[in-house]
Amino acid sequence: MKTLTQTKLNLSGSKDTRNKGKKKYTLITDIFRNPFSYLLLLPAALYTFIYGYMSLPWIAIAFQKYSFRTGIFKSEWVGLKNFKFFFASTNALTVTWNTVYLNILFLITGTVAAVLIAILMNEIKSKWFAKVTQSTLLFPHFISWVVVSYFVYLFFSMDEGFINLQVLKTLGIPAVNWYQTPLAWPAILTFIKLWKGTGIGVIIYLATISGFDSEVYEASTIDGCNRWMQIKCITIPMLAPIVTMMTLLSIGGIFKGDFGMMYTIIKDNGVLLPVTDVIDTYVFRALRKVGDVSNATAVGLYQSIVGFAFVYGSNWIAKKYFSEGALF
Amino acid sequence: MKMQRLFALIMAMLIASSVLAGCASTTDTKTTESTQTQTQTKVVLEPKEKLPVRFVMPGDPLPDQELVEQAINKKMLQDGVNLELKAVYVPWDVWEQKTNLMMNTGEPFEILQVMDSWISAASIVGRGGIVPIGAAYLDKYGPNIKKVVPTWAFDAGMINGKIYTIPAFGIEPAVRTGFITYRKDLFDKNNIAIPKSPEELSTAIETIIKSEKDKKYMYVPDDGDQQEMLHRWYDSFPFIVYDQLLFIKNDGTVKSWVETEEFKKDAAFNRKLYVDGIISPDILSLKDDIKQNAYKNSMYPVDVGEGLGWWPQQKLNTPEAVFEDFLVAPEKPLLRSEAYTNSNAISATSANPEAGVMFFNWVYANQENYDLLHYGIKDTHWKDLGERKIEPINPDKPTYSYPTWMSENVSLMRFSKDIHPTLELIDTLKFPGIKYEDTTNFITLGFRFDTTPVATEYANCMSEANTTFRPLANGVTDYDKNYPKALAKMKAAGIDKVVAEYDKQLKAFIATKTK
Amino acid sequence: MKKTNIFDWLNYGFIAITSLLCALPMVLMVMVSITDERTIQKYGYDLLPKMYSLDAYKRIFTSGDMIVRSYILTVLITVVGTFLAVLITAMAAFALSNKKVRYRNGWSLYFFFTMLFNGGLVPWYLINRALHVNDSIFALLIPNLLFNAFNMFLVRNYMNSLPDELRESAIIDGARDTVIAFKIYFPLSIPVLAAVGLFYGMGYWNDWWNAIMLISDRKLYPLQYMLFALQSNMNMMTDLQKGGNMVGVIVPQESLKMATVVVTVGPIIMLYPFLQRYFIKGLIMGSVKG
């Protein structure tokens, strides 16, 4: 508590000197003008401070040769040496590219699918049908990646897989050796990600749609709008701010690979890795035996910094052209 | 916009500094606290107070854990050993994270189970997690340990010239590799004799799998064990392969593994089987469950390593299967390339480091103590069948289950009544036709490769070994076509530096040993 | 409303297929969970297994009163935790959507920053220890789960989209921010709060991490941890003791894996239809305005 107010005090103080009295409105003024809003903000701010900001000093181990005995205060500082292992590797570019490329793929398809399904579901009038289908969309969310990877194997295995044995055979197409066809995997992974993650997105968008003013819809019906025009002219524009914000939030994680997913499904399959190896799996594989915390933290920091820069940039653009969707 | 950036920056800085200050003080108090307790315990404990033995081991406690723990503590009291055992279970899934955390945050405990094949003792020492035990300590607190664990095993585990670990000295390490398990009934049915060369083995595998097409027998090559089975046949034997990166001969020659003829031969062996449709096309992403189910149902013509270990399950699922073992190239001596794989070490966070040593001294003091820890209470959890055989009571109910491999000992261990007779022969060194007296200690026995000087290169080479070379080794991709490119990648990752460093360290090690 | 037309038929068909795709694996899991273990070992997963067995469920529910106990504990934690989490989130979201708070963007950045940057496990553990939450019921309630910036942003955006006149007219009436929040904004935000509540609820329900890391007292183990332990004990019985100590029994390893998922997913899936009545278009808005 004390530290928090102190922080704010100091903050406003230093700000004043920087702005040379141009603006007298400081954080303190803000708090005094809106005491009750700040009261409401307090629990969340405190929680974030304790669990978020107080942990930050430990990022220092990314620049240290860390040892249990010496801790973060007395471990030897080694500068950027811990970053070297990743950036000096010939694969740094490939895995970074894979991470970003796959994440963008997931992001775009995921958003489109979730918005589409939410809109379509919104058009469903049968209540029990809506209830049942919405519930089932959530099922995959609960299945762990390990189990998912098993299902994936049941589908794509060469000799006994569902696709080869049932689908392709019926169509008269020769069996495909999926686990050795790198080109197919970005699509397969995208599909799996869609299958597992869309349910959550649909719920978010459905909740948003249900908050829309029904009078607008009624008015448009009177004006002779059909349902397609309603979707196009009312629903989609009104969903735009939340879609933009969700996208911005996802951009922050664009340099972080989904380790649980990639590692369980692909494992160490060297044939597929040129297109599916992401930063997180690469680092895990490289450090598996060595177990160096400093190296791992360094790579994590790199991912966060670049991600943050991207969010900051996109947020700036969003703010300029579409302020309702901006994050901050 | 500017205001915001400033806001964020200053905020972050201020917070970081205030937190640093805050944390500094907390850690300070923490350390003083622990030193305080240290002095306290040291002073108070001398006369009567029991020393705690917090034993950190992987897994989850079973219902009877407490019962056995009480029994152990009671027995220790009777024996006049001033210790109080408390097992601290850490679930497998978070073993690495949580033990790291405990060592990192100074959580006091005495014994840490070290699984060298996963996280090496050397790397834990490097991070300051465990403390040296030392010969003096062992003499003073662990005379019984020295009785059941040979000195050479302690020496083999030395790190930087110091003893850190108490080895789980189970089955003679020399018989852990070199044996191949085979389905005798299928070999006989197809009139196949015990293979005498890689070619014969390859033919045997192919003949059997092709003759029983509808049965879907599997041959699953994998890194490590599965390759080793061929190595005894090669002329250059004895040699070992370290981490799929280095090839070391008994004369001290160090080479890059993937550049050797032996690697090429391994790859060719698997390539033929792969092209002929024997190795599953999904081999690189094959699920462990599928492999395991194949084992449980005896669906394999040959296997190394765990082969006979599955017997109790196989007997139930496929009573018709007959398994036997043979030693590859029996004329060559057995090789001891490592002393043990698991051991127990003393945590740096312990205030009474001697307690851990004293505990194992008690465990290895006699059969009764050993049994109590490893198998539970006699006649409650297990029945003595004589001749070192035991039968668990209520085998299908989890009651008490201590992972025996954590601290097993060759002179005290017992066997399940369901053990395969051949496995028993191997484990007790009674397998016929082997010249046990010729067993050689490999040159690297007791040598620890410190990867720190080449950490970057090593990490990258490990990654290449797993990604680029694994398909080659498993026969999935053609050697001649893909090798040049793969090699170029391995070179770029810095394999030559790794080889040079290993060579340098090994030479230094040999020099000190011969001195 | 109009009659059902081609679009509706296509729509129903599409949604039906989509949800079928999501449901099928679940059906398979249920079937595997009631398959005899030896049949799984021999023939793999099957929608219509050759032999059925309820062994896995027997294992789960006869492993002492611990399972029942942890079930009750988990329900309790989930209810209390979700309530508190939604409250904290909604309150913060309201403050950040208040256009009178000029530093709201700075605060948004303050929250977002921690979504990307974090010191990791060690400080997390030390902080929990300093707060004395470990080895108490608070360890299941507070760390990680109590507040999530992502959810807060969702709610904030929703509140941003509410018309400003709502607040202005209330201010003219002399209402405080707290009153506006609880009396006007929160009721109007029920759809998004329901969604966010569902996310928090799933978080609490599925959590085993906090228990593994912070709790050593078996009495405080939540459901997920109990099932997790049960499973790993089964694995231990078959795998770890291979060597010379394996025993000739078949334990329901694979069916248990699936049964645990079925046991945990069940209740939370049942919950969803109840939340759903808050997702009905325009209902709330109309009622307040009218």
Give the pLDDT of residue C61.
82
Nearest to C161 among A58, A241, A311 (CB): A241
pLDDT digits (tens, 9 = 90+) for C266-285: 777 777 777 777 765 544 44
Give the pLDDT of residue B21.
39
Q: Where are the domains of chain A?
A: 27-79, 82-321
Q: Please answer whether residues C220 and C139 qualify as being in contact, where contact means their C-beta atoms are separated by less than 8 angstroms.
A: yes
* H or E stretch at B57: strand B51-58
**Residues A157, B18: C-beta atoms closer than 8 Å:** no
B182 bridge partner residues: B302, B324
Chain B, 410-469: which have a CB under 8 Å from a chain A CB? Answer: 451, 455-456, 458-460, 462-463, 466-469
With a CB cutoff of 8 Å and minimum separation 6, the contacts of B226 are B220, B304
Find the mean pLDDT for residues B10-17: 46
Question: Which residue in A97, C106, A10, C274 sits closest to B15, CA to CA?
Answer: A10
Find the mean pLDDT for residues B445-470: 87
In a mutational test of the A interface, the residue from B457, B463, B479 whose CB has the highest number of chain A CBs within 10 Å is B463
Give the pLDDT of residue B459.
86
Question: Superfamily assignment of C60-288 in CATH?
Answer: MetI-like (1.10.3720.10)
Give the pLDDT of residue C239.
58
pLDDT of B39 > 60? The answer is: no
pLDDT digits (tens, 9 = 90+) for C182-231: 988 998 898 899 999 999 999 999 898 999 899 888 788 898 888 888 88
A36, A40, A45, A50: CA torsion to nearest 10: 110
Find the mean pLDDT for residues B54-58: 92
**Residues A7, B11: C-beta atoms closer than 8 Å:** yes
What's the rounded Cα separation, in Å, for the pair A212 and C264?
Answer: 34
In a mutational test of the B interface, the residue from A31, A268, A294, A311 whose CB has the highest number of chain B CBs within 10 Å is A268
Q: Any idea which of A191-205, A266-280, C35-49, C114-128 has the lowest mean pLDDT?
A: C35-49
Surface-to-core class of residue C2, CB atoms within 10 Å of its CB (0-12 exposed, 13-18 middle, 19+ buried)? exposed
B86 bridge partner residues: B54
- Which ranges in chain C belong to alpha helices (H)? 6-33, 37-43, 55-61, 66-97, 104-116, 121-130, 138-141, 149-160, 165-172, 177-179, 186-188, 190-206, 209-214, 223-235, 242-245, 253-276, 283-289
pLDDT digits (tens, 9 = 90+) for B385-417: 888 888 888 777 777 878 888 899 988 988 888
**Residues C232, B93: C-beta atoms closer than 8 Å:** yes
The model's pTM: 0.86
Computed over every residue of chain B, the mean pLDDT equals: 84
pLDDT of B29 > 60? The answer is: no
**Residues C245, B101: C-beta atoms closer than 8 Å:** no
Give the pLDDT of residue B515.
65
pLDDT digits (tens, 9 = 90+) for B266-309: 999 999 999 998 998 888 888 877 888 888 888 888 887 667 88
Find the mean pLDDT for residues C99-122: 92
pLDDT of B28 > 70? The answer is: no
Task: Give the phi and the psi of residue A267 in degrees, each rounded to 5.
Answer: 55, -140
Give the pLDDT of residue A211.
79
**Residues C202, A141: C-beta atoms closer than 8 Å:** yes
| Percentage, residues of chain C above pLDDT 70 | 89
User: What is the per-residue burial (b if ≥16 Cβ within 10 Å, else e) of C233-250?
Assistant: bbbbbbebbbbbbbbebb
Give the pLDDT of residue A278.
95
Q: Any idea which of A217-221, B159-163, C4-8, C245-249 has the lowest mean pLDDT?
A: C245-249
Q: Please answer whether residues C84 and C146 qualify as being in contact, where contact means their C-beta atoms are separated by less than 8 angstroms.
A: yes
In a mutational test of the C interface, the residue from A109, A120, A141, A210 whose CB has the highest number of chain C CBs within 10 Å is A210
Sign, CA dihedral B328-B421-B298-B244, equals: negative
**Residues B463, A89: C-beta atoms closer than 8 Å:** yes
* Residue of chain C minimizing CA distance to A217: C282
pLDDT of C44 > 50? The answer is: yes
CATH fold of A82-321: MetI-like fold (1.10.3720)
**Residues C95, A40: C-beta atoms closer than 8 Å:** yes
**Residues C152, A151: C-beta atoms closer than 8 Å:** no
Give the pLDDT of residue B283.
87
SS3 per-residue string spanning chain A: CHHHHHHHHHHHHHHHHHHCCCCCCCHHHHHHHCHHHHHHHHHHHHHHHHHCHHHHHHHHHHHEECCCCCHHHHCEECCCHHHHHHHCCCCHHHHHHHHHHHHHHHHHHHHHHHHHHHHHHHCCCCHHHHHHHHHHHHHHHHCCHHHHHHHHHHHHCCCCCHHHHHHHHHHCCCCCCHHHCHHHHHHHHHHHHHHHHHHHHHHHHHHHHHCCCHHHHHHHHHCCCCHHHHHHHHHHHHHHHHHHHHHHHHHHCCCCCCHHHHHHHHCCCCCCHHHHCCHHHHHHHHHCCCCCHHHHHHHHHHHHHHHHHHHHHHHHHHHHHCHHHCCC
Two tokens, residue B51: 């020393």
Q: Where are the domains of chain C?
A: 60-288
> What is the SS3 assignment for B344?
strand
**Tens digit of pLDDT at every position of chain A (328 positions):** 333 434 443 433 344 444 444 567 888 899 998 999 999 999 999 999 999 999 999 999 999 888 887 888 888 898 888 898 888 888 889 999 999 999 999 999 999 999 999 999 888 888 888 888 888 888 898 888 988 998 899 889 887 788 888 888 888 888 889 999 999 999 999 999 999 999 999 999 988 888 777 778 888 888 888 888 888 888 899 899 999 999 999 999 999 999 999 999 988 888 899 899 999 999 988 887 777 788 889 999 999 999 999 999 999 999 998 888 888 8
The type of residue at C241 is: Q
pLDDT digits (tens, 9 = 90+) for B211-258: 887 778 888 886 556 667 889 999 998 899 988 899 999 999 999 999
**Residues A52, C105: C-beta atoms closer than 8 Å:** no
Find the mean pLDDT for residues C105-126: 93
- Sorting pLDDT into bands at 50, 70 and 90, what band is C244? low
User: What is the per-residue burial (b if ≥16 Cβ within 10 Å, else e) of B348-358?
Assistant: bbbbbbbbbbb
Check CB contact of C254 with chain B, cutoff 8 Å. yes
With a CB cutoff of 8 Å and minimum separation 6, the contacts of B241 are B227, B228, B231, B247, B248, B257
pLDDT of B343 > 90? The answer is: yes
Check CB contact of C40 with chain B, cutoff 8 Å. yes
* Residue of chain C minimizing CA distance to A133: C19
Question: Which residue in A183, A204, A304 sits closest to A255, CA to CA?
Answer: A304
Q: Please answer whether residues B125 and B345 qualify as being in contact, where contact means their C-beta atoms are separated by less than 8 angstroms.
A: no
